[in-house]
Amino acid sequence: MLRWSINRFCAGEEKRVGTRTVFVGHRPVSETDAYVEQKFCDNRIVSSKYTVWNFLPKNLFEQFRRIANFYFLIIFLVQVIVDTPTSPITSGLPLFFVIIVTAIKQGYEDWLRHRADKEVNKSSVFIVENAKQVKKHSEKIKVGDIVEVKADETFPCDLIFLASSNDDGICYVTTASLDGESNFKTHYAVRDTTGLRTDDDIDSLTATIECEQPQPDLYKFVGRINIYRSNQEPVARSLGPENLLLKGSTLKNTKKIYGVAVYTGMETKMALNYQGKSQKRSAVEKSINAFLIVYLCILVSKATVCTTLKYIWQSNPFNDEPWYNQKTIKERDMFKILRMFTDFLSFMVLFNFIIPVSMYVTVEMQKFLGSFFIAWDKEMYDEEIKEGALVNTSDLNEELGQVEYVFTDKTGTLTENSMKFIECCIDGHKYKDGISEVDGFSHTDGPLKYYGKAEKCREELFLRALCLCHTVQIQEGDNVDGLRINQERRTYIASSPDEIALVKGAKKYGFTFLGHEADYMKVQNQKNEIEKYQLLHVLNFDPVRRRMSVIVKTSTGKFLLFCKGADSSMFPRVQQDEIQQTKVHVERNAMDGYRTLCVAFKELTQEDYKKINDQLSEAKMALQDREEKMARIFDDIETDMHLIGATAVEDRLQEHAAETIEALQTAGMKVWVLTGDKMETAKSTCYASRLFQTNTELLELTTKTMGDSDRKEDRLHELLLEYHKKLLPDFPKNSGKLKRSWTVSQEYGLIIDGSTLSLILNPSQDSSSSNYKSIFLQICLKCTAVLCCRMAPLQKAQIVRMVKNTKGNPITLSIGDGANDVSMILEAHVGIGIKGKEGRQAARNSDYAVPKFMHLRKLLLAHGHLYYVRIAHLVQYFFYKNLCFILPQFLYQFFCGFSQQPLYDAAYLTMYNICFTSLPILAYSLLEQHINIETLTSDPRLYMKISDNAMLQWKPFLYWTFLGAFEGLVFFFGVYFLFQNSSLEDNGKVFGNWTFGTIVFTVLVFTVTLKLALDTRFWTWMNHFVIWGSLAFYVFFSFFWGGIIWPFLKQQRMYFVFAHMVTSVSTWLAIVLLIFISLFPEILLVVFKNAKRKNHQEHPLSSCSLKLPAITAFLGMNKTVPFNLPMLLSYKPMENGYTSEMKLEDAVTNLTQRCHLRIPQMQQL
């Protein structure tokens, strides 16, 4: 009682200790004790970011942390405080437009989160109070409440499972919303509470639950329940993950359950796992920041030059104070330095439009709207699961076009994760496709194959092991959406498809698992007799042990331990003289690409079992370090076993997986496979998927090549130096170009396992060499493909991080389908999740999710390529058009005495980026296809043309900058020479400075818009609408703005200016001529490059078609294979691509290797 008193008085100190105590039903243990309500958090879920009160300050603070927004805020404040030549509206309006649009977007997204939270918090639940059901909102649930949940309902908080409508105290749940796994999981009630199946019964329960404090791991839970009965000693039972029903899970195929709330609200495991992924930044953003710094320097330089020249100009007294503009006393008394600083700020304000603030909004809109094209792609829709691609973040669209390294899982990603039992071996004898009854097994379909026969008792022992050593459950009749196999109205339900395949394999040979009955497992043998085995303990599978075991008691009273697991974890634990005969079959099956498991058993004496049972019971009751204690006991139990045999299960390669890998490699990407499977199985899959070619020389860094020597580090160092020496001479120093080449004389592949990788990444303290990692990394980067087997999830992430942080920071992509792939998906620049059979946790944690591996080809080669080209063009175009815009303003200062006189009207300054030139580039960045999607997908080498951020390097940036400078000079001086005679009409009426600025602005708007029209190669009605519509809107606005006397303007300086301007024929001719002159170099360059390209238009291999008709006939090629692709000026030249010449021998060699041609005719050639 002392413990309860302490807990009662210290309830508010729960967070200081490692456990919490929950009173079931809020009932005290003893009637003499007064119950004091404990202080736990309520059951409200809050996923929103803002509230009504903090939205404005918090959102503004976050937005002004952006450098561009903060810069424009400073400029706006300068315009308000200092007497500047332009109105504060000119910079304030675009800034406020950007801030408001972003705030509306973020506010809407948060409102959706608020609405979702409210929907969850206000949902109805039933709580048992005083033997009656009380309906409440979910947010009203408190820790200790007994909650009733019915079939297909979601658990409102984390519950300890007390009882269900089933007599055996079992319920089935799916955890799709937590880890994405749609397969059924079985949960168990403590046997002392399974009979409490009514409200009256459950209300009579007096118990306390001691458990750990909330922690986010979905698969770990440690606790115990103490049940009190009148006039009896309290009963203590252990609680584990199998007793905990998680919030967000759904009850399936069970009418109802009772549970007691232990974690509520933001302390539930689901809430603790709800955290934003680390922000990933694309390479384009880094380029934008670099370009922004250059333009900031240009801005400061312009302001400095104009300020300096102004005071040089004013050094002449006549220029400083002409007779018509005398200074005031205040101006004469002002300090010269202060005046200079004020003038400098004024020039900064005048030229500040060179920084494109609206570019950030356009980029955000382009990314957000562009991501829908991935989700809408019908070719990436899978009919089997009725789902398409999913975009979880739109910030990395362009990064899909820059991938250099692809890290992929094997099982469920390259393979289907659809297991089929192929064969087994018992005591070294192979059994495949069914053996006749006279040979010992029941007759099944398929050809009979006899491979020798084990003893009858060993055969039956092996099949009983397959029927008993698993966690498969049977659901009668009803269909469920978990993993299942319907057999005589039975559905096998399991968390892993391997287990179902093995149970099905046992049935194929005459032993059928019939399910559970209380604590017993039922098996029907070959003679159709029902055998019952009492299930005493299950030693669950975990990735560290890589095996699972069960302890059962036979009807004759024998205690048996059955164990199955990976060969590497089983062989050290069985009799050594039994290994060899099975090892041969395991290695051969692995070479064939099958997944293998070894099966062993051990007979326990009564004393052995009693000792094991006491140890397990004691460990299960521990609240601290329970898992470590259990692991030590498991390790002691699973020793000195007898090996019976092994199984082989096939996991088929996914459709078009091999073609996809080949396309990625041809596109210049290096593909690495990171898997937990054994080396032989993974190697076979790599050959089948064409990751390794038949001519690939494999370099191995595995336990096998390391040997059993005590100094493994020394042996590792020798191998690393040997491989390094072998690889280095075959590769030129200029590796930057090589990594995007597809004609390497000798291909190398590397195979490494988890234990060797641990030696490399974590060398021992006394290791003589500390540069293992750098040598290993150099070897990896030289290899065309790398296979990492026996990898733990953390090691997968370490591999990705190691490559990601190498010199040059190559863009990495990770793709996987299981929870064990999440770490590498989060680590890579781009994470892709497969919506596979291992669940949806990978898809939920990824940046993009696709139904199958083959969809990666189009995602990268088509969508990635186009997204990158579009956004790169958008960024360069924005800087270009703003330079065109502000350069005439700078030049104008030389002709107005550096008086800070604006060239353009305030309305034009404000609307240029917001209205006149924004929509055409947005439409271009969403719809442009400079090369059609079919060509991009079918010819992966085009991907290399945009590699290494080719279109946002300094060379294309300087090209666009010089183009903008040239056009700005043409605009200004063209109109300047036109105004040599300021009377542009027959009546001698003189045009003024506002007409001058309007003509320059008109030429500017038409030129930059028509420049985009020249760049557009994929015209849609939307392109036509926004391009010609923007020009029409500008003309309409100019007539409208100058056609009315606006009462809120002090000066009506634009009144009738535009209408008067267009009446002059000279003006019309000047506008057309200047537009043509501005665009002429661009047109000339494109024509010249296209003409030059025609000389290299043929496919490199087509030159062989004249000399090698056998090859072209075999491949169905014509004599020439022209590629009529449009020209992008920012494209980089590509070696071994369309413009390079290839030697005849290299072409043939490469062709035979890539196409896997084995015909004598090709070999002779």
Task: State the catalytic residues.
Answer: 409
Query: Which of helix, strand or coil describes residue 791?
Result: coil
Are 860 and 942 a contacting pair, CB within 8 Å? Answer: no
Would you tell me how many other CB atoms lie within 10 Å of the CB of residue 585? 23
Nearest to 655 by CA among 864, 897, 382, 467: 382
Query: Exposed, middle or buried: residue 853 (CB in 10 Å: 0-12, 13-18, 19+)?
Result: buried
Are 797 and 392 a contacting pair, CB within 8 Å? Answer: no
Element (H, E) at 126: strand 124-129
Nearest to 109 by CA among 56, 50, 67: 50
What's the alpha-carbon Rg for the chain, to the nearest Å? 37
Distance of CA 92 to the CA centre of its chain: 38
Q: Within 728-784, where are the H helices?
A: 735-738, 754-761, 772-782
How far apart CA 631 and CA 539 sit, in angstroms, is 9
How far apart CA 1123 and CA 938 sit, in angstroms, is 12
Tokens representing 666 are 């041809």
> CA angle 263-264-270, nearest 5°?
85
Query: Exposed, middle or buried: residue 1098 (CB in 10 Å: 0-12, 13-18, 19+)?
Result: middle
Are 693 and 611 a contacting pair, CB within 8 Å? Answer: no
Cβ-Cβ contacts under 8 Å for 238 (sequence gap 6 or more) = 223, 224, 617, 620, 621
> CA angle 923-929-932, nearest 5°?
155
Structure letter (DSSP) for residue 229: -
How far apart CA 268 and CA 272 sit, in angstroms, is 6
Residue 262: half-sphere exposure toward Cβ, Cα within 13 Å? 31
How far apart CA 57 and CA 44 sit, in angstroms, is 25
* Residue 238 β-bridge partners: 224
Structure letter (DSSP) for residue 114: H
How far apart CA 392 and CA 380 sit, in angstroms, is 16
Distance of CA 681 to the CA centre of its chain: 27
Distance of CA 488 to the CA centre of its chain: 42
Are 472 and 513 a contacting pair, CB within 8 Å? Answer: yes
Pairing of strands 547-553, 530-542: antiparallel
Are 183 and 412 a contacting pair, CB within 8 Å? Answer: no
Tokens representing 1056 are 């009738």
Query: Which of helix, strand or coil describes residue 958?
Result: helix
How far apart CA 948 and CA 945 sit, in angstroms, is 9
Tokens representing 619 are 């460990």
How far apart CA 485 and CA 477 sit, in angstroms, is 11
Tokens representing 441 are 């097994």
Distance of CA 393 to the CA centre of its chain: 8
Cβ-Cβ contacts under 8 Å for 606 (sequence gap 6 or more) = 559
Are 874 and 362 a contacting pair, CB within 8 Å? Answer: yes
How far apart CA 403 and CA 417 sit, in angstroms, is 26
Element (H, E) at 1110: helix 1109-1115
Nearest to 552 by CA among 512, 523, 580, 579: 523
